[in-house]
């Protein structure tokens, strides 16, 4: 369990430091900075959830989404407490840390600060941040593990 919680803490710190640095020192005078033909740093505020869904709930939405996120985090911490596999503990830590990082934004700023903008031509993916990245990485690892490796562990136990 401590491994997952340590990962969560590292993700929270990385997320908050990256948001602060990009907001205050990189984009402080700019709305966007183009780095390559497919990547920009942007200033984007998301009051909703992934990919800006439910983005117009106002202050009530911020409170409800924060409470929902914290409820999910509680479930994930319980799972982490029960989990024996280190890779799943790490993955749960990634998701927990990312979720808490975004809740910190919602509570302190009223919206989540997103700044990573990938695109092909005029087609942009929704902007995201370090917390979002680790939530996706953690979820992907859990899914891959469940699809390809979990049944092998069950066979070994027999």
- Calpha distance 46→8 (Å, rounded): 22
- Calpha distance 43→22 (Å, rounded): 9
- Calpha distance 13→28 (Å, rounded): 20
Write the CB contacts of 52 (distance below 8 Å, at least 6 apart in sequence): 46, 126
- Residues designated as active site: 114, 132
């Amino acid at each position: 369990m401590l491994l997952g919680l340590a990962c969560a803490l590292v993700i929270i710190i990385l997320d908050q430091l990256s948001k602060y640095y990009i907001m205050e020192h990189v984009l402080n005078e700019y709305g966007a900075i183009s780095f390559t033909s497919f990547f920009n740093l942007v200033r984007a505020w998301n009051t909703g959830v992934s990919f800006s869904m439910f983005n117009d709930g106002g202050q009530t939405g911020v409170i409800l989404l924060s409470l929902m996120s914290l409820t999910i985090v509680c479930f994930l911490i319980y799972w982490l407490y029960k989990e024996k596999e280190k890779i799943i503990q790490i993955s749960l830590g990634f998701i927990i840390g990312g979720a808490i990082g975004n809740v910190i934004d919602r509570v302190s700023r009223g919206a989540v600060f997103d700044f990573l903008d990938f695109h092909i031509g005029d087609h942009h993916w929704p902007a995201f941040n370090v917390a979002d990245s680790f939530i996706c990485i953690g979820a992907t690892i859990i899914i891959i593990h469940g699809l390809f490796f979990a049944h092998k562990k069950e066979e070994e136990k027999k």
